[in-house]
Amino acid sequence: MNLPLAGLKDERSKIKVKDTILGGKEIIIIGGPCAVESKEQMRSAAKAVQEAGGKILRGGIYKPRTSPYNFQGLGEEGIAYLADAAEEYGLLSVTEVMDEQGLEAVKERIDIVQIGARNMQNFQLLKKLGTVKKPVILKRGLSATIEEWLYAAEYILAGGNKQVILCERGIRTFETSTRNTLDLSAVSLAKKLSHLPVIVDPSHAAGRIDLIPSLAKAAIAVGADGLLVEMHPNPAEAMCDGAQSLTPAQFRELLKELQVIGHGVNRELYLPLEDTGIEPLRKRINLIDRDIVQLLADRMKLVRRIGKHKNPEHIRDGKREAEILQKLESWATEVNCPAELLQQIYPLIFDCSIRLQLKGKRSREAEYVI
């Protein structure tokens, strides 16, 4: 595959939307109905998403339906139902737009825009998205190759908008027992070929609720950074995609199971704490501290190896230390970590690193003398 790419860079992109980071260690779950139907429906959906541990509320306002006689979405009336419900429950919001007018209409109130499978190669729209400051979830087209999908993302990136999240949602194959065929290799490959976060939509892939939990778990195991799952407060009454919509209880159960799978691949899915007391919070802190110790140990291992390549006269490199601190400060602001904490901790880490390198040199010299 011969991609250019504005999309290629050394490290993975993390996309920060308010306090939520897509593409980091945390698995981000998007939940909500296929279509926004009413204010009440969106409030119950938002409550269910928040209580289960989801971070983003979805709901289609403009629905790209196969038949013109099916429900086409509430249009602009739905924007406030989605945005208000998300705000009330501290969630982000995402909705699909099909054209520039739609984008203009939702831009102010909705946090993330989705480009649906049917519009993946709507190049005019992709170019427009390149010029706005909005994160975009770009779904893979129904019959698009991975290359075509990444080139579509490239249109947005090349226009200057770097906040693109890829979403695998199943492709059309000869198989008819499922609505589409979920292409899990595409998740691994898209993560290899690009730096962008990749999420999976098991709902539109399967088209039936019984398969969604296993596909969702497989997606996390294969490295997806998040999931987009259809969940309706009352699937039997849904105006769109009821057969693939989980109930709030099924959604909650699924997230618990996903947390376990996540741990197996070194990812976190933070479930709301059932007990808001001190103990569950301390347990979480213990896990984070363990990670910090492991990371420091890894850092020191590398430091020792670097020591072997250094000139004994120039073990300390002040310029490099200043560069590291500068980078850390900018990462810290991205994730709301107090910069002064790093300013205090890092000089200690640098000192310890230098001591280890000097010690390494001395013990090698001693070996030599002997």
Residue whose C-beta lies closest to ligand PEP: 116
Residues within window 222-281 making contact with Mn ion, judged by CB under 5 A: 241
Minimum separation from the CB atom of position 59 to Mn ion (A): 10
Minimum separation from the CB atom of position 37 to Mn ion (A): 12
**DSSP secondary structure letter of residue 237:** G
Token pair 């490239």 in the structure block, residue: 154
Between the CA atoms of 234, 165, 167 and 190, what dihedral angle is there, to the nearest 10 degrees?
Answer: -160
96 lies in the binding site for Mn ion (CB under 5 A): no
Q: Which is nearer to ligand PEP, 14 or 118 (CB)?
A: 118
Minimum separation from the CB atom of position 140 to ligand PEP (A): 8
Query: 15, 21, 117, 187: which one contacts ligand PEP (CB under 6 A)?
Result: 117
Nearest 5 degrees, angle CA 114-CA 155-CA 195? 80
Size of the site for ligand PEP (CB under 6 A): 11
What is the distance between the alpha carbons of residues 265 and 270, in angstroms, rounded to a whole number?
Answer: 15
CB atoms within 10 A of CB 260: 11
Q: Which is nearer to ligand PEP, 64 or 338 (CB)?
A: 64
- Span interacting with ligand PEP, options 37-45, 115-123, 214-222, 344-352, rule CB under 6 A: 115-123
Minimum separation from the CB atom of position 63 to Mn ion (A): 8
Residues within window 200-239 making contact with ligand PEP, judged by CB under 6 A: 201, 204
Residue 32 is inside which H or E element, if any? strand 28-32
Burial of 159 (0-12, 13-18, 19+ CB in 10 A): middle
Residue 360 three-state SS: helix
169 lies in the binding site for ligand PEP (CB under 6 A): yes
Q: Helix-strand-coil percent breakdown of the chain, rounded to 5?
A: 50, 15, 35
254 lies in the binding site for ligand PEP (CB under 6 A): no
- Span interacting with ligand PEP, options 80-88, 111-119, 149-157, 254-262, rule CB under 6 A: 111-119
Minimum separation from the CB atom of position 265 to ligand PEP (A): 24
**Cβ-Cβ contacts under 8 Å for 309 (sequence gap 6 or more):** none
What is the distance between the alpha carbons of residues 356 and 334, in angstroms, rounded to a whole number?
Answer: 31
Q: Which two tokens stand for residue 144?
A: 């698009």
What is the distance between the alpha carbons of residues 11 and 14, in angstroms, rounded to a whole number?
Answer: 9
116 lies in the binding site for ligand PEP (CB under 6 A): yes
Residues within window 14-33 making contact with ligand PEP, judged by CB under 6 A: none
Q: Which is nearer to Mn ion, 81 or 151 (CB)?
A: 81
Q: Which two tokens stand for residue 146?
A: 């991975």
Q: Which is nearer to Mn ion, 168 or 241 (CB)?
A: 241
Query: What is the DSSP code string of 144-166?
Result: --HHHHHHHHHHHHHTT---EEE
- Span interacting with Mn ion, options 29-37, 170-178, 286-294, 344-352, rule CB under 5 A: 29-37
Binding site for Mn ion (CB under 5 A): 34, 241
Binding site for ligand PEP (CB under 6 A): 34, 60, 64, 96, 116-118, 139, 169, 201, 204
